[in-house]
């Protein structure tokens, strides 16, 4: 009887549907995409999935713009404070949706890799081909041999692609959007898993180089699950400390507390390990090069651009809202992490011979720079980091788009030696790649320069001048390996059996153009985006 009485008192929390509409649209589209996989015949799935994904992303973007236009600069929390929709959230959502659109275009392309870059079940054929010693790495296991049992097309047709990547991408994107907006640690943990689980699977779907791809998936999965266990233990300790997992209550508990700080700092430490892993910062980066190299390049583009945005969005909110008042206690540790990340990324990046690995180490260095902005708990630090994420995301997306175009007989030619003299084969691709690499290095008139300037000036204003000096040195070191690629492309003789540059289809062209345009515009007229990034602060 008493249970019934309690149930009568339960009321559903009010939901501001306008605020969370973009998130609901993406999640709904992901569920519809699963149904499409289940019920449509194989040859109809690709067009249906592409149309659905693009329509969903555009609709979510419109809903976002509508809400952003009608709401004030102060944010709200909704679904009984589980999600916080404020200006930084809206900025991150917009960034994620735009990057997601670019990634979907790269993933959907079927002209660069005939039939698309994804195939799920070549495993049995790979075992025949040479699974034992791992010699089949270079062999095109998927490419030309269709499997009539599974309906991948007849021998004279290119096999169709594995269209499950579209629902995976949409689910991952919804997880990332929730991760940025999460206002308590439990929502954040669930969002972390929703964004990670599809990514683990997407890594293992490459049509070519199956062994590398599967190895990347296993490594990503095991290390990712390990890191989320740390995140979760941190959550448990903070729950023990504060009696709640809500950010504002953790902040309130740490403000005037007589309790020992062991639980708070221990919990924060473990939590940060999990977050830094996802953002591929510093000493927690070990998965990054392997997974970036092994995963299919469109997935690497999605991962490199969107995961970074989501992870740093989460880090910003946790540090700002939950631990802003205790910053003098944790900042020393994050100094060490940021230095480690910048040095590791810049120095080890120098020795890389594979383009995708090189960009992976560059992303580790960039994560260190981003951490500088995230550590300075000021409005300038927040807006600088947000702007940096926007700029970095689009540049990375376009870089991986270009990498997917340079192909040898057995798939992508990612070894640096194969890029020698590329400018003579394809001046346009070489010029685009050079521009993007210069943007990653942070040369003026590109978005990279503006972003670095915003983050470094915020950090030095907040008393982190030594760190900024180290960051500038690391940028200079990292610039060396970007410029090395440019020199290689322009001033070397092309190898006689070098790779060819594929003429991209409309989708890949659109994605690369989007990335290059944003990189250029943010470098020349950054004011508008900087204004959006600084339009408001986190709601508690």
Partner 1 sequence: MTPTYYLLLSALLFSIGAVGVLVRRNAIVVFMCIELMLNSVNLTLVTFARINGALDGQVIAFFVMVVAAAEVVVGLAIIMSIFRTRRTASVDDANLLKY
Footprint of partner 1 (CB under 8 A): 123-124, 126-127, 131-132, 134, 137, 186, 189-190, 193, 197, 200-201, 204, 210-212, 214-219, 221-222, 225-226, 229, 232-233, 235-237, 239-240, 243-245, 289-290, 293-294, 351-352, 357
- The least CB distance from residue 410 to partner 1, in Å, is 15
Encoded tokens for 247: 């950010």
> Nearer Cβ to partner 1, position 33 or 471?
33
> Nearer Cβ to partner 1, position 119 or 422?
119
> Nearer Cβ to partner 1, position 197 or 380?
197
> Nearer Cβ to partner 1, position 103 or 293?
293
> Nearer Cβ to partner 1, position 220 or 507?
220
- The least CB distance from residue 374 to partner 1, in Å, is 26
C-alpha distances out from residue 267 to 231, 262, 278, 316, 348, Å:
9, 8, 17, 17, 31
- The least CB distance from residue 226 to partner 1, in Å, is 5
> Nearer Cβ to partner 1, position 76 or 218?
218
Looking at residue 348, what DSSP letter applies? H
> Nearer Cβ to partner 1, position 249 or 325?
249
118 DSSP β-pair partners: 206
- The least CB distance from residue 320 to partner 1, in Å, is 23
- The least CB distance from residue 225 to partner 1, in Å, is 5
> Nearer Cβ to partner 1, position 363 or 450?
363
> Nearer Cβ to partner 1, position 60 or 273?
273
Q: Report the SS3 class of residue 446.
A: coil
The CA distance from 438 to 517, in Å, is 14
- The least CB distance from residue 262 to partner 1, in Å, is 12
- 392-401 burial: b if 16+ Cβ within 10 Å, else e: bbbbbbbbbb
The CA distance from 278 to 313, in Å, is 11
- The least CB distance from residue 229 to partner 1, in Å, is 4
> Nearer Cβ to partner 1, position 270 or 306?
270
The CA distance from 482 to 401, in Å, is 17
φ, ψ of residue 415 in degrees (nearest 5): -70, 140
Segment (H or E) for 445: none
- The least CB distance from residue 53 to partner 1, in Å, is 21
Closest to 116 measured CA to CA, from 296, 290, 305: 296
C-alpha distances out from residue 364 to 337, 389, 400, 449, 527, Å:
11, 13, 16, 18, 27
- The least CB distance from residue 327 to partner 1, in Å, is 25
180 close to 96: Cβ distance less than 8 angstroms: yes
- The least CB distance from residue 256 to partner 1, in Å, is 18
Q: Where are the alpha helices (DSSP H) in 157-306?
A: 165-181, 185-203, 210-242, 247-255, 262-278, 287-294, 297-302
Total Cβ atoms within 10 A of residue 510:
17
Encoded tokens for 41: 């015949």
Q: How is 115-127 classified by DSSP, letter by letter?
A: T-SB-S--HHHHH
């Amino acid at each position: 009887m008493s249970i019934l009485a309690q149930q009568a008192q339960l009321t559903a929390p009010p939901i501001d549907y306008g605020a969370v509409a973009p998130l609901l649209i993406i999640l709904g589209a992901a569920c519809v995409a699963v149904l499409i996989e289940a019920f449509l015949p194989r040859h109809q799935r690709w067009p249906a999935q592409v149309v659905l994904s693009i329509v969903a992303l555009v609709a979510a973007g419109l809903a976002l713009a509508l809400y952003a236009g009608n709401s004030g600069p102060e944010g709200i929390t909704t679904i009984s404070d589980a999600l916080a929709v404020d200006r930084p959230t809206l900025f991150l959502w917009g960034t994620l949706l735009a990057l997601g659109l670019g990634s979907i275009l790269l993933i959907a392309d079927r002209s660069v890799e005939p039939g698309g870059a994804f195939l799920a079940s070549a495993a049995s054929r790979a075992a025949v081909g040479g699974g034992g010693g791992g010699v089949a790495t270079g062999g095109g296991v998927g490419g030309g041999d269709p499997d009539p049992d599974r309906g991948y097309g007849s021998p004279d047709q290119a096999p169709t692609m594995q269209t499950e990547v579209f629902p995976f991408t949409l689910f991952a994107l919804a997880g990332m959007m929730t991760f940025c907006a999460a206002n308590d640690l439990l929502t954040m943990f669930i969002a972390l898993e929703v964004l990670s689980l599809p990514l683990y699977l997407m890594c293992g779907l490459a049509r070519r180089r199956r062994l590398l791809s599967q190895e990347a998936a296993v490594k990503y999965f095991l290390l990712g699950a390990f890191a989320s266990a740390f995140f979760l233990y941190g959550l448990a300790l903070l729950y023990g400390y504060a009696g709640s997992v809500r950010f504002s209550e953790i902040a309130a508990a740490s403000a005037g507390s007589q309790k020992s700080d062991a639980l708070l700092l221990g919990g924060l430490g473990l939590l940060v390990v999990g977050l830094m892993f996802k953002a591929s910062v510093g000493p927690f980066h070990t998965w990054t090069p392997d997974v970036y190299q092994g995963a299919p390049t469109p997935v690497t583009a999605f991962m490199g651009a969107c995961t970074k945005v989501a992870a740093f969005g989460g880090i910003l909110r946790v540090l700002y809202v939950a631990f802003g008042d205790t910053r003098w206690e944790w900042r020393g540790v994050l100094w060490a992490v940021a230095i480690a990340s910048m040095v590791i990324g810049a120095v080890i990046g120098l020795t890389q011979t594979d383009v995708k690995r090189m960009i992976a180490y560059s992303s580790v260095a960039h994560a260190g720079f981003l951490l500088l902005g995230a550590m300075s708990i000021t409005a300038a630090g927040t807006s600088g980091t947000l702007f940096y994420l926007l700029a970095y995301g689009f540049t990375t997306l376009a870089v991986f788009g270009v990498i997917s175009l340079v192909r040898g007989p057995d798939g992508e030619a990612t070894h640096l030696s194969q890029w020698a003299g590329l400018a003579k084969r394809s001046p346009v691709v070489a010029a685009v790649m050079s521009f993007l690499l210069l943007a990653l290095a942070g040369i003026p008139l590109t978005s990279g320069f503006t972003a670095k300037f915003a983050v470094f000036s915020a950090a030095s204003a907040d008393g982190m001048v030594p760190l900024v000096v180290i960051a500038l040195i690391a940028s200079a070191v990292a610039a060396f390996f970007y410029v090395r690629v440019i020199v290689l492309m322009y001033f070397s003789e092309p190898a006689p059996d070098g790779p060819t540059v594929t003429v991209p289809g409309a989708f890949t062209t659109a994605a690369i153009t989007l990335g290059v345009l944003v990189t250029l515009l943010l470098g020349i007229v950054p004011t508008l985006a900087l204004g959006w990034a600084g339009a408001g602060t986190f709601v508690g």
